[in-house]
Amino acid sequence: MTSLQSFPPSPIIQSSFSYTEPALTPSPVLTPRLVLGSSSIYRKELLTRLRLPFDVIVPNIDETAFTGEAPEATALRLAQEKAVAVALIAPGALIIASDQVATLDGAQIGKPGNHRNALLQLQKMRGRRVVFHSALCLLDARSPLAAPTVQLENIQTFVTFRDLPDAELDAYLRLEQPYDCAGSAKNEGLGIAILEKIESTDPTALTGLPLIALTGMLRRAGVGFFHT
């Protein structure tokens, strides 16, 4: 935001005509360009809640976890790599990127990709508590004279799945087909019916974009939300 420069008052001029000091016009609010680095329609829908204009660029990175890499480290690394990849395409912008890794007993649970794998995932997770790591990155590349600054945060969400029979799990999968979701369930849709409990400090983290964390990052970057 451009600050309003203060000027000393104009001197009083003794003359035969009256002098009226011109009114100062406030500087306009400058809204930075926001770019969401994601191919996820769910993250795009979440970001629209903030009522800020933004563009979407799909990052092209290898999302394979490193051997022996901790789940939280994987999520944080991939979120930052997505942001960096987008910044190369959209210089001078604020880049938002995120990544999510689900774990059961410390082992990563990926996107199932098909019905068979999704059913196997749900069978393993029923009656169990699964940890979702939702990593968020805000990369500020607005200054052409300084290196980009990065804010990173990981939000953990603990999800307990209902202990349901195979027939119900299979029926759910055929109805919603959540094959692009880690954990094989869309909590923002019918998948909520196969969940028993969700515990998190950020209610949108499980869907893929933790908005409480994001609004905090954007505020620290100078972005406001309630301009009138």
Beta strand pairing status for 94-104 and 107-109? antiparallel
Tell how far CA 202 is from the center of its chain: 11
Among 55, 62, 99, 170, the one annotated catalytic: 99
Please indicate whether residue 99 is annotated as part of the active site.
Answer: yes
Q: Report the first-to-last Cα separation within the chain, whole angstroms.
A: 14
Burial 42-69 (b: 16+ CB within 10 A, else e): bbeebbeeeebeeebbebeeeeebeeee
Cβ pair 118, 184 in contact under 8 A:
yes
Backbone angles phi, psi at 63, to 5 degrees: -95, 20
**β 129-140/55-57 pair status:** unpaired
Q: How far is CA 149 from CA 65, 92, 106, 107, 133, in A?
A: 24, 12, 31, 32, 22
**Which residues are known catalytic residues?**
99
